[in-house]
Amino acid sequence: MEGGWPSGGAFLLCLTVNLLLPGRSNTFTINCSGFHRHGVDPAVFQTIFNQKDFRPVINYSIPTQVNISFTLSAILDVDAQLQLLTSFLWLKMIWTNPFISWDPEKCGAISKLTVTTENLWLPDIFIVESMDVDQTPEGLSAYVTNDGHIVYNKPTRVTSICSLDIFYFPFDQQNCTLTFSSFLYTVENMLLGMEKEVWEIADTSRDIVCTQGEWELLGINKATPKMSVGSSLFDQIMFYVAIRRRPSLYVINLLVPSSFLISIDALSFYLPAESENRAPFKITLLLGYNVFLLMMNKLLPASGTPLISVYFALCLSLMVVSLLETIFITHLLHMASTQPPPMPPWLYSLLFHCTSPGKCCPVALWNENTGPGLMSTHLPGLKEPGQLVGKELGSREAELNGGSGLTSTQLADLWVQFSHMMDTFLFRLYLIFLASSIITVVVLWNT
Ligand SMILES: *[C@@H]1O[C@H](CO)[C@@H](O)[C@H](O)[C@H]1NC(C)=O
Ligand SMILES: *[C@@H]1O[C@H](CO)[C@@H](O)[C@H](O)[C@H]1NC(C)=O
Ligand SMILES: *[C@@H]1O[C@H](CO)[C@@H](O)[C@H](O)[C@H]1NC(C)=O
Ligand SMILES: *[C@@H]1O[C@H](CO)[C@@H](O)[C@H](O)[C@H]1NC(C)=O
């Protein structure tokens, strides 16, 4: 179709005819006699091909209407560090070339032809957010219909800048903008329109995108504000592409193991405080959690501080705090069994008050005893706390008030009791803090 045609007299004649009779569309009817017998004659299209450097309009005051639509076929990458969205689009553009028209009845019922795009004028539609050079493959063709419409489809890989907010990772949604605009033509020369309704674009794209990948297309909205640069006004169409991450990979690999480890840490409070196992157990858990964090670090976004990192830090610090608590309680118990210091009177009365029934101190709950392990193990010589309180404390208080001291065994018992009380109290604090932080994180994720 191309090459070989000498742009001689026939072209000049055509051009002369075109210039002499502007505005009459039948002037530009292509003589297609013989199309059905000899194939398309390149000569009849040569005039149009020679005009490809200029915008195809009869009257230059009339803007060219370019209708666009696209199908989002894949979301390839969302780079939170560089704030880039890489997607793949099939872009469709339709415009009219008034110089092309033929009568299909006379042309063997041919109503559309493909023409290589090198021979046609193409609108310079580009995506404003695109951060990469246009990687459209070469040698594409476009459909040319007998009434002058040119339908041009091209596949494009778009790397567009997008403000990504990864705070809610892995339950995040992103809203990226793709703005189609002409690079050169102002509103006097080019107007943009929609080839399809935006919901059609969204539906088609959703069907294609939903079968693959980490990201799911939620919807596409559009807006058509004009863009003014200096004194010129450019037509543009903005598409808001809303996408959502599928969180299952992260839930399974990050949240579930982390929750298991933190619940084991909470349960390890039920290991008897007197046993030697509690501290080593917690240290092992802490080590395990660190290894888990190191291994799963690559799944986290490379930049920013998502809520999930805060959650991990919180879990880690809770584990450290629970280890510190164990050390503290072990120290108290050790002190009680070796050389119990004299008990300050306020502590003594606190113990007494809190162990009497009907008081709302943490140890009042101790008698109802929800914590196994704390009560099931008694140091030799330690009596049931209720007994101790009910019978002995009263008399002891009298003794104390009377000025006489406690025997060292009784003092040791009291310290042991105090340690257990502290253990329960700190465990409850730990649980309250754990529950409130988990609830906060979950509530934040749900908003
Ligand atoms: C169309 O071209 C054929 C030769 O290809 C010629 O015989 C015929 O007269 C032309 N018709 C018109 C209307 O110019
Ligand atoms: C071109 O179009 C403008 C506006 O539609 C009109 O005023 C003008 O007369 C047209 N020019 C010609 C040569 O037809
Ligand atoms: C573009 O769309 C507008 C309005 O939807 C329509 O009037 C016009 O004919 C379309 N143009 C082409 C070339 O399809
Ligand atoms: C995306 O953002 C634009 C404006 O920034 C807004 O108009 C549009 O509704 C948002 N889309 C979604 C799905 O949130």
Q: Which of 199, 203, 36 is nearest to 106 (CA)?
A: 36
Protein residue whose Cα sits closest to atom 11 of ligand 2: 59
Protein residue whose Cα sits closest to atom 4 of ligand 2: 61
**Omega into 170 within 30° of 0, i.e. cis?**
yes
Torsion of CA 29, 194, 206, 199, to 10 degrees: -130
Q: Which of 200, 247, 236 is nearest to 220 (CA)?
A: 200
Q: Which of 140, 142, 129, 138 is nearest to 96 (CA)?
A: 142
Q: Using CA atoms, how far apart are residues 222 and 396, in angstroms rounded to an integer? A: 81
Residues within a 6 A CB radius of ligand 4: 175, 219, 221, 240, 242
CATH of domain 16-246: 2.70.170.10
- For 178, what's the count of Cα atoms within 13 Å in the CB-facing half-sphere? 25
For residue 102, the ligand closest to its alpha carbon is: 1
Residues within a 6 A CB radius of ligand 1: 31, 33-34
For residue 177, the ligand closest to its alpha carbon is: 4
Protein residue whose Cα sits closest to atom 3 of ligand 2: 61
pLDDT tens, per residue, the chain with 447 residues:
333 444 444 444 444 444 444 444 455 788 887 777 778 888 888 888 898 999 999 999 999 999 999 999 999 889 989 999 999 999 999 999 998 888 888 888 888 889 999 999 999 999 999 998 878 888 899 999 999 999 999 999 999 999 999 999 889 999 999 999 998 999 999 999 999 999 999 999 998 886 668 899 999 999 999 989 899 999 999 999 999 999 999 999 999 999 999 999 999 999 998 888 899 999 999 999 999 999 988 889 888 889 999 999 999 999 999 999 999 999 999 988 888 888 888 888 888 887 766 544 444 333 433 333 333 333 343 444 444 444 444 444 444 443 446 788 888 888 888 899 999 999 999 999 999 999 999 999 888
Q: Is the dihedral of CA 261, 265, 271, 277 positive or negative?
A: positive
Q: Burial, 312: exposed, middle or buried (Cβ in 10 Å; 0-12, 13-18, 19+)?
A: buried
Q: Using CA atoms, how far apart are residues 285 and 257, in angstroms rounded to an integer? A: 12
Testing ligand 3's pocket by substitution, the residue of 67, 95, 100, 198 carrying the most ligand atoms inside 8 A of its CB is 67
Going from N- to C-terminal start, the domains of the chain cover 16-246, 249-446
Structural contact between residues 59 and 132, judged by C-beta atoms closer than 8 angstroms: no
Long-range contacts of 82-86 (CB under 8 A, 24+ apart): 83/161, 83/162, 83/163, 83/164, 84/131, 84/159, 84/160, 84/161, 84/162, 85/158, 85/159, 85/160, 85/161, 85/162, 85/164, 85/174, 85/176, 85/241, 86/157, 86/158, 86/159, 86/160
Structural contact between residues 145 and 94, judged by C-beta atoms closer than 8 angstroms: no
Taking the CA of residue 175 as reference, the ligand 4 atom at the shortest distance is: 1
Protein residue whose Cα sits closest to atom 6 of ligand 1: 33
List, in sequence order, every residue forming a beta bridge with 317; answer none if it has no partner: none
How remote is the CA of residue 10 from the centroid of ligand 1, in Å? 12
Protein residue whose Cα sits closest to atom 3 of ligand 1: 33
Please give the model's pTM, rounded to 2 decimal places: 0.77
pLDDT value of residue 358: 54
Testing ligand 3's pocket by substitution, the residue of 62, 65, 145, 153 carrying the most ligand atoms inside 8 A of its CB is 65
Q: Using CA atoms, how far apart are residues 278 and 269, in angstroms rounded to an integer? A: 8
DSSP 283: H
**In 3-state terms, the chain is what percent helix, strand and coil (to 5)?**
45, 20, 35
Six token digits for residue 296: 């799963």
Structural contact between residues 92 and 125, judged by C-beta atoms closer than 8 angstroms: no
